Amino acid sequence: MDLYDISFFLTTLWVGPFWLAMLIYPDEESTKKLLKGPMFFLGPILIWIFLTMLEPQGLVELIKGFTNPLEILDEIAVLIGTKAGAAAVWAHMVAGDIFATRWMWKRSLRLGFEKWKMTTVVFFGVMLMPLGVFLYVIFSKNISSS
């Protein structure tokens, strides 16, 4: 197990308690307190920064790729095709997923979602974030049109 494997697992494990709290205890004060500050996404962001600092050339190549928009996807594919790139992309995705999930969870509480709807949105918010966002929008529209 190398540094990139460890960073992958740390990123995943970091968001677990926050996600489970929103999923299992969405209305509890302890969940609201746990998710009040930036700690829920700080771990993955710091891991992303750390990984990027270890391999700064990857970021340089990505930025250089923006000068030729027809080749940017090729540059991204090359970067993701490395362990360092895959671990950094994973940290980036996990940070975005938990950030979006927290936002949907907070809005779901404010809008008074039924528990099964909130649980569904929170579950998919981390597991398949685009689907979680889609479900949140559908459920929100049903509430606002009622």
- Please give the residue range of the domain that contains residue 11: 3-144
| Burial of 109 per CB tally in 10 Å (0-12, 13-18, 19+) | middle
- What is the number of domains present in the chain? 1
Which tens digits make up the pLDDT trace of 70-125?
878 888 888 888 898 899 999 999 999 999 999 999 999 999 999 999 999 999 99
User: What is the reported pTM?
Assistant: 0.87
Q: Of all residues in the chain, what percent carry a pLDDT higher than 70?
A: 98
